Structure 1
Amino acid sequence: MLNTQQSGFVGHLIELRNRLMKALLSILVIFIALIYFANDIYSFVAAPLISHLPENSTMIATDVTSPFFAPFKLTLFVALFAAVPMILHQIWSFIAPGLYKHEKRMLLPILFSSIVLFYAGISFCYFIVLPIILGFFTSVGPEMMTLSPDISSYLGFALKLFFAFGVAFEIPVAIMVLCWSGVTDVISLKEKRPYIIVGSFVVAMFLTPPDVLSQTLLALPMLLLFELGLILARFYSKKPKEQELQE
Structure 2
Amino acid sequence: MTLIEHIYEFRRRLGFALLALLAGGILGFIWFKYTIRPIPTLGEIMTGPYCEVPAERRLNGTEGCRLLQTVPFEAFMIQLKVGLMAGAVLFAPLWLYQLWAFIAPGLYSKERKYALTFVGFASVLFAGGAMLAYLLIPHALALLMSFGGDSFVTALTGDKYISFVLALLVIFGVSFELPLLLVMLNRVGVVRYAQLKKWRRGIIFALFVFAAFATPGNDPFSMLALAGALTLLCELAIQIARLHDRKLERRRKEEGWDNLADDEAAPFDYTPSTVDEPEPTRDARARTDDVT
TM-score (norm 1): 0.84
**Matched position secondary structure for 2:123:** helix
Comparing 152-161 with 50-59, which one deviates more in the overlay? 50-59
Whether 1:195 and 2:191 are equivalent positions in the alignment is: no
Instruction: Flag structure 2 segments of 5+ consecutive residues without an equivalent.
Output: 34-40, 258-265, 269-292
Comparing 184-193 with 43-52, which one deviates more in the overlay? 184-193
Distance 1:190 1:85 in 2: 36
Distance 1:71 1:232 in 2: 42
Distance 1:88 1:179 in 2: 25
Whether 1:123 and 2:131 are equivalent positions in the alignment is: yes
Partner of 2:162: 155
Partner of 1:103: 111
Which letter maps to 2:42? I
**Matched position secondary structure for 1:143:** helix
Note if contact 2:140-2:219 (Cα within 8 Å) is conserved in structure 1: no
Whether 1:85 and 2:110 are equivalent positions in the alignment is: no
Instruction: Flag structure 1 segments of 5+ consecutive residues without an equivalent.
Output: 1-6
Comparing 13-22 with 159-168, which one deviates more in the overlay? 13-22
Comparing 187-196 with 133-142, which one deviates more in the overlay? 133-142
* CA deviation after TM superposition for structure 1 residue 125, in Å: 1.0
Deviation track 1:44-103 (CA, whole Å, cap 9, x = no partner) reads: 111111121425324211222212211221111112233333343333333322333233
Note if contact 1:117-1:170 (Cα within 8 Å) is conserved in structure 2: yes
Partner of 1:66: 74
Identify which of 4, 10, 21 aligns with 1:27: 21
* CA deviation after TM superposition for structure 1 residue 123, in Å: 1.1
Distance 1:170 1:74 in 2: 23
Q: Equivalences for 1:227-246 in 2 at 5 Å?
A: 227-234=235-242, 239=248
Partner of 2:233: 225
Partner of 1:4: none
Partner of 1:46: 47
Which letter maps to 1:184? V
Cα 1:91/1:175, change in 2 over 3 Å: farther
Partner of 2:211: 204
Partner of 2:190: 183
Partner of 2:223: 215
* CA deviation after TM superposition for structure 1 residue 138, in Å: 2.8
Whether 1:36 and 2:36 are equivalent positions in the alignment is: no
**Matched position secondary structure for 1:136:** helix
Note if contact 1:118-1:167 (Cα within 8 Å) is conserved in structure 2: yes
Cα 1:179/1:206, change in 2 over 3 Å: same
Cα 1:171/1:87, change in 2 over 3 Å: farther
* CA deviation after TM superposition for structure 1 residue 158, in Å: 0.5
Which letter maps to 1:21? G
Note if contact 1:23-1:87 (Cα within 8 Å) is conserved in structure 2: yes
Determine which structure has more spread, i.e. the larger CA radius of gyration: 2
Q: Equivalences for 1:2-21 in 2 at 5 Å?
A: 8-21=2-15
Distance 2:68 2:29 in 1: 22
Note if contact 1:121-1:169 (Cα within 8 Å) is conserved in structure 2: yes
Across the aligned residues of Structure 1 and Structure 2, the Cα RMSD in angstroms comes to 2.5
Deviation track 1:152-182 (CA, whole Å, cap 9, x = no partner) reads: 1001110110000110111232122212222
Deviation track 1:184-223 (CA, whole Å, cap 9, x = no partner) reads: 1222122111221121122223321233332222111111
TM-score (norm 2): 0.72
Number of aligned residue pairs: give it: 237
Deviation track 1:121-156 (CA, whole Å, cap 9, x = no partner) reads: 1111112x1122122223333213222211110011
Which letter maps to 1:165? F
